């Protein structure tokens, strides 16, 4: 049986007091953050975590873990593409597993 209160349904944490405290603090916000990040990715041709955070006007530190959770939940996937992030390093371009339908698009 799936436990809805463990990763990836709840934020992950390292075995450190500060990590556990941060996970507990963000936990109430994670469902909404995941939903917002997913909506942005579903309406794209793929985005890095930095790009998702930028579109939402949020910190990369609150979005990057949500994309990993969404990946574990089977909602987004690694597209295989890479683009430089803000630090100049290559980052995963996340693609939607189920893209949003575009108005006027035929089935």
Which CATH number is 65's domain given?
A: 1.10.10.10
Quick check: 2 pLDDT over 60?
no
Total tally of structural domains belonging to the chain: 1
Domain-located, residue 17: no
* Spatial distance between the Cα atoms of 83 and 75, rounded to a whole number of angstroms: 20
Q: Record the pTM.
A: 0.78
Domain-located, residue 36: yes
Domain-located, residue 74: yes
Q: Which residue has the higher pLDDT, 11 or 105?
A: 11
Domain of 49 in residue numbering reads as 25-96
pLDDT for 24: 82
How many CA atoms, within 13 angstroms, populate the side-chain half-sphere of residue 4?
1
pLDDT for 97: 93
pLDDT for 4: 45
* Spatial distance between the Cα atoms of 56 and 65, rounded to a whole number of angstroms: 15
Interval 53-75: pLDDT, tens:
999 999 999 999 999 999 999 99
């Amino acid at each position: 049986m799936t436990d809805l209160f463990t990763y990836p349904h709840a934020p992950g944490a390292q075995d450190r007091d500060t990590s556990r405290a941060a996970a507990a603090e963000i936990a109430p916000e994670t469902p909404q953050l995941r939903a917002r990040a997913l909506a942005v990715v579903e309406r794209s041709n793929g985005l890095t975590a930095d790009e998702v955070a930028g579109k939402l006007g949020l910190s990369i530190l609150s979005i990057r873990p949500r994309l990993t959770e969404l990946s574990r939940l089977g909602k987004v996937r690694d597209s295989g593409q890479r683009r430089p992030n803000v630090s100049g390093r290559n980052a995963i371009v996340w693609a939607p597993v189920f893209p949003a339908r575009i108005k006027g698009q035929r089935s």
